[in-house]
């Protein structure tokens, strides 16, 4: 088979690459990947081998880019500035890209060559489900380290392509009104860093934030204008297309080669090339090849919201267009808007943890406003600055309209908590487009969809999941069964709403119980904020100190028992009026399936000695006391418990937590140690095929399965 005969089929290779990346998060996705590869094996053998080669290539790139780099703590290096932000700049050398932070920022420009001395550091990255993943952003940007610069000398300045984007943005900031310059930067250059965060939040709430990302609409406007202009100069067709291509290259330089701009520009250039040379490649082939090329260059781009929405919407519109009914422009607009939002829904839900019921209406209205008024106004104002006051009036009116829609918005908290649910949603969306004119098929698809939505909304209580969230040097543990949940400690006060985002991402809309082990800020700091944002039926603690001002609080004592469903919580130690507040922590024990859990809060050696008096004291899973410090976890105590798993909630700190001797002692006694600073959130799931099925946010399922079988052989008696 010649490759030309595979025209229009590269979508299968792109689908295989996508499923391969998604399959790392969920083993269920591997079934979809095998189905796609099986189809290619029997129907398009050449594409099957191409898909396998592409998957191996992307996998190899992932391993290569994730390989650890040996970097000294104190750096003496020469870097070239390639990006300048408000709080930091990005420097590059042969080892990679670094974020540079200055106490006194020197006069820098893109292309400045710096000779620096500084301290290498890594931020306290907290990996949690349903939360922003800063590590993925660093991987996508190829950041290998962070440097606090102590000495800096600008040795020379080189020409760098990024200088064009930097200077263009600087001209906009310096020469346009403060009310209009952020919008020109956003709409023309794809830089929303200067837009008011409240406005951005409002756009996300309305589900229209993707309309502000530079996309095919922007490129289409540019191409339309250039096409109309050049057609009046009577250029030959190929010259016409070449000039448009050169302008798009310049526009990419001005925007810093944003992925969405690059994709749309490459599509346009490829369409011109195909038309000029009578190629048999389809539009779907072109976007598939661009998608695969970007993934091979940097697979971590797939984790970025802009990349996901840009390609997903483009793919779905190209796939769905042949199946749509022809009609008026308004009908076509409604159809395309509905389909775009339908396919983007899982990503929007994961990002916003919900959706507005007026999202489709808002998208139709604002797509027209942005495409016909706001976007052309931004370009015209850029080229004709005297129109600045007119554009300012347009922006003001636009923001008034968004506020009006926000006041009418009906919001529903909802998410697809599992990756397989998202993939099934996309398969149903594809089936819907293909069956749009077959009512019987639509009925079956609708029934499956209702079942999927019900499973996500109601969360059948077929399993119990215990999640120790990564909240830095604090504690926060969530136990969920179906839609019911309890929270043990909240972590410190958190502007990023880590606990709340996790609960909303899992479709947990209320908490039956919040237990505060003791009143240190790193265990209860987020309590007051949570009470304002999610219904809490009962708060329990060992004392009525209550600095969070929550009323009422139920007080429990040593020996008390709490019931939550079929789980029985025993209070082994409670408030003891100890001057050391850590020793006033609640110590809680419970059994789930065949595993006994022991949660030690911040209890130290004195409490452990009291617990040792209980001859029947055993535990399979231990939440280690006081973040793994040497003030707890005595050798006698560890030996007595004979635990299989030791969980340490810890983050970046100046106290030396966890103590290496403590960690080694747990390992010596046969426990597998998990740390939230290394493993991210740690999840134990009971009631499925494995007991327990242990996952961590920092490892994909292949690594987890390997760890599981290692545990089976090493700790076989536990199973």
Q: How many CA atoms lie within 13 A of 17 on its CB side?
A: 33
Q: How far apart (Å, rounded) are the C-alpha atoms in residues 248 and 254?
A: 10
Q: 651: alpha, beta or left, given left = phi > 0 and alpha = psi -120 to 50? A: beta
Q: How far apart (Å, rounded) are the C-alpha atoms in residues 492 and 472?
A: 8
- pLDDT single digits (tens) 54-67: 999 998 888 888 77
| Preceding omega of 311 cis (within 30 degrees of 0) | no
- pLDDT single digits (tens) 121-133: 888 888 999 999 9
High-pLDDT (> 90) share of the chain, %: 46
The predicted model gives 405-420 an average pLDDT of: 87
The predicted model gives 272-279 an average pLDDT of: 69
pLDDT interval class at 277 (50, 70, 90):
low
Whether pLDDT at 17 is above 90:
yes
For 436, the enclosing helix (H) or strand (E) is none
Supply the mean pLDDT for the chain: 86
Whether pLDDT at 602 is above 50:
yes
For the ranges 209-218, 358-367, 653-662, the maximum mean pLDDT occurs at 653-662
Whether pLDDT at 710 is above 60:
no
- pLDDT single digits (tens) 645-656: 999 999 988 889
The predicted model gives 411-428 an average pLDDT of: 90
Any idea which architecture 464-718 has in CATH? 4-Layer Sandwich (3.60)
Distances (CA, A) of 604 to 110, 193, 600, 607, 663: 53, 46, 9, 6, 15
The predicted model gives 314-329 an average pLDDT of: 75
Q: How far apart (Å, rounded) are the C-alpha atoms in residues 58 and 52?
A: 10
- The predicted model scores a pTM of 0.89
pLDDT interval class at 718 (50, 70, 90):
very low
For 36, the enclosing helix (H) or strand (E) is helix 29-43
- Report pLDDT for 689: 60
559 C-beta neighbours (distance < 10 Å), count: 10
- pLDDT single digits (tens) 544-554: 887 777 778 89
Residue (of 615, 609, 714) closest to 672 by Cα position:
714
Q: For the chain, how far is it from start to end, CA to CA, in angstroms?
A: 52
**489, 472 in Cβ contact below 8 A?**
no
- pLDDT single digits (tens) 588-599: 999 998 899 999
Cβ burial 444-461 (10 Å sphere, 16+ → b, else e): ebeeebeebeeebeebee
pLDDT interval class at 314 (50, 70, 90):
confident
Q: How far apart (Å, rounded) are the C-alpha atoms in residues 135 and 127?
A: 8
Query: How many residues are listed for the chain in this entry?
Result: 719
- pLDDT single digits (tens) 391-407: 999 999 999 999 998 88
Which residue(s) pair with 153 in the sheet? 115
- Report pLDDT for 713: 55
Whether pLDDT at 440 is above 80:
no
- Report pLDDT for 164: 86
pLDDT interval class at 567 (50, 70, 90):
very high
Query: Domain 74-160 adopts which CATH fold?
Result: OB fold (Dihydrolipoamide Acetyltransferase, E2P) (2.40.50)
155 C-beta neighbours (distance < 10 Å), count: 9
Q: How far apart (Å, rounded) are the C-alpha atoms in residues 140 and 122?
A: 16
Q: Say which residue, 68 or 518, is predicted with more confidence.
A: 518
Which residue(s) pair with 570 in the sheet? 561, 589
**652, 492 in Cβ contact below 8 A?**
no
Whether pLDDT at 289 is above 70:
yes
Whether pLDDT at 110 is above 70:
yes
């Amino acid at each position: 088979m010649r490759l030309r005969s595979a025209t229009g089929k590269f979508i299968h290779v792109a689908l295989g690459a996508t499923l391969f990346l998604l399959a790392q998060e969920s083993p269920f996705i591997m079934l979809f990947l095998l189905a796609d590869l099986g189809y290619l094996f029997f129907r398009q053998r050449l594409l099957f081998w191409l898909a396998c080669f592409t998957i191996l290539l992307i996998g190899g790139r992932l391993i290569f880019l994730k390989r650890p780099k040996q970097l000294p703590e104190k750096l003496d290096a020469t870097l070239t500035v390639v990006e300048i932000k408000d709080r930091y700049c990005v420097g590059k050398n042969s080892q990679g890209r670094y974020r540079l932070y200055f106490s006194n920022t020197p006069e820098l420009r893109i292309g400045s060559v710096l000779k620096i001395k500084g301290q290498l550091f890594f931020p306290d990255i907290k990996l949690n489900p349903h939360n922003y993943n800063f590590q993925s952003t660093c991987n996508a940007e190829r950041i290998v380290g962070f440097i606090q610069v102590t000495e800096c000398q600008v040795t020379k300045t080189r020409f760098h392509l990024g200088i064009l984007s930097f200077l263009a943005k600087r001209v906009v900031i310096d020469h346009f009104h403060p009310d209009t310059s952020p919008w020109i930067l956003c709409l023309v250059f794809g830089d929303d860093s200067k837009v008011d965060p409240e406005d951005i939040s409002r756009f996300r709430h309305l589900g229209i934030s993707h309309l502000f990302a530079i996309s095919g609409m922007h490129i289409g406007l540019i191409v339309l204008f250039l096409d109309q202009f050049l057609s009046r100069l009577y250029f030959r067709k190929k010259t016409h297309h070449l000039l448009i291509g050169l302008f798009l290259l310049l526009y990419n330089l001005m925007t810093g080669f944003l992925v969405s701009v690059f994709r749309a520009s490459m599509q346009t250039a490829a369409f011109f090339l195909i038309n000029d040379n009578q190629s048999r490649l389809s539009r779907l082939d072109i976007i598939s090849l661009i998608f695969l090329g970007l993934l091979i260059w940097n697979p971590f781009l797939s984790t970025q919201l802009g990349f996901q929405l840009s390609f997903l919407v483009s793919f779905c519109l190209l796939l769905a267009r042949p199946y749509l009914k022809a009609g008026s422009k308004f009908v076509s607009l409604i159809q395309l808007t509905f389909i775009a939002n339908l396919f983007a829904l899982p990503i929007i839900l994961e990002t916003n943890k919900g959706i507005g019921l007026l999202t489709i209406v808002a998208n139709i209205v604002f797509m027209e406003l942005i495409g016909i008024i706001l976007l052309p106004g931004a370009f015209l104002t850029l080229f004709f600055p005297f129109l600045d006051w007119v554009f300012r009036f347009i922006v003001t009116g636009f923001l008034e309209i968004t506020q009006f829609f926000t006041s009418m918005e009906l919001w529903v908290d909802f998410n697809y908590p599992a990756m397989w649910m998202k993939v099934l949603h996309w398969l149903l969306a594809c089936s819907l487009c293909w069956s749009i004119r077959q009512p019987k098929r639509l009925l079956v698809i609708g029934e499956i969809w209702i079942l999927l939505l019900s499973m996500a909304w109601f969360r059948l209580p077929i399993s119990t999941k215990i999640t120790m969230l990564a909240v830095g040097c604090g504690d926060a543990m969530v136990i969920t069964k179906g839609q019911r949940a309890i929270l043990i400690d909240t972590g410190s006060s958190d502007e990023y709403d880590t606990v709340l985002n996790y609960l909303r991402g899992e479709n947990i809309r209320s908490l039956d119980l919040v237990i505060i082990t003791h009143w240190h800020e790193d265990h209860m700091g987020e309590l007051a904020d949570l009470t304002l944002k999610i219904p809490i039926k009962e708060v329990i603690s060992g004392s009525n100190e209550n600095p969070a001002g929550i009323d009422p609080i139920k007080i429990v004592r040593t020996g008390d028992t709490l019931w939550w469903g079929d789980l029985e919580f025993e209070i082994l130690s409670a408030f003891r009026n100890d001057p050391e507040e850590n020793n006033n922590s609640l110590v809680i024990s419970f059994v789930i399936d065949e595993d006994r859990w022991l949660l030690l809060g911040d209890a130290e050696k004195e409490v452990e000695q009291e617990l040792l008096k209980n001859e029947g004291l055993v535990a399979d899973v231990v939440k280690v006391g006081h973040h793994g410090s040497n003030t707890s976890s005595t050798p006698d105590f560890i030996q007595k418990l004979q635990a299989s798993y030791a969980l340490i909630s810890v983050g970046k700190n100046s106290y030396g937590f966890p103590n290496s001797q403590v960690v080694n002692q747990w390992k010596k006694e046969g426990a597998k140690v998990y740390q939230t600073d290394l493993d991210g959130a740690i999840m134990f799931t009971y009631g499925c095929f494995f007991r327990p099925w242990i996952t961590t946010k920092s490892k994909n399922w292949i690594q987890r399965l390997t760890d599981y079988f290692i545990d089976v052989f090493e700790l076989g008696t536990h199973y």
